[in-house]
Amino acid sequence: MTRNEFDSFCKTLNSTTNVIQWGNASVWKVGGKIFAICSHWGEGDHQKIGFKCSDFSYMVLTEQDDIVPAPYLARAKWVQLESEKAMNDEDIKSYIIEAHKIISAKLTKKKQRELNLLA
């Protein structure tokens, strides 16, 4: 998944905002809270995608090749895809949707209502 594809997909999710920070990283938020990042972290010249995940997904994903605990965010159960072969685009999209849901659920009910996130 390219950065443009990543940004285009994240833009389709409900009530998201995008900022460029931390050395040109594309940071996606819902309710002011980060749920996914695309950047050039660490070595290599390819895009690296990071996202919030459930405790179980974190445990499973970090056992996979080319998926590591995300720098600076691992304690909050974030993973980072280290190569393009780490995960196919459809799986990345599924995990980003789940990350969006996890972060949305942590917002106050008032904020969820303001952003039309309640079902």
105 lies in some domain: yes
Please tell me the predicted confidence (pLDDT) of residue 47: 81
26 lies in some domain: yes
- What is the 3-state secondary structure of 22-84? CCCEEEEEECCEEEEEEECCCCCCCCEEEEECCHHHHHHHCCCCCEEECCCCHHHCEEEECCC
27 lies in some domain: yes
Nearest-5° Cα angle at 8, 45 to 46: 5
Q: Is 118 helix (H, G, I), strand (E, B) or coil?
A: coil
- What is the distance between the alpha carbons of residues 108 and 87, in angstroms, rounded to a whole number? 32
The CATH number given to whatever domain includes residue 70 is 3.90.1150.30
pLDDT for 2 beyond 90: no
- The percent of residues above 70 in pLDDT, for the chain, comes to 94
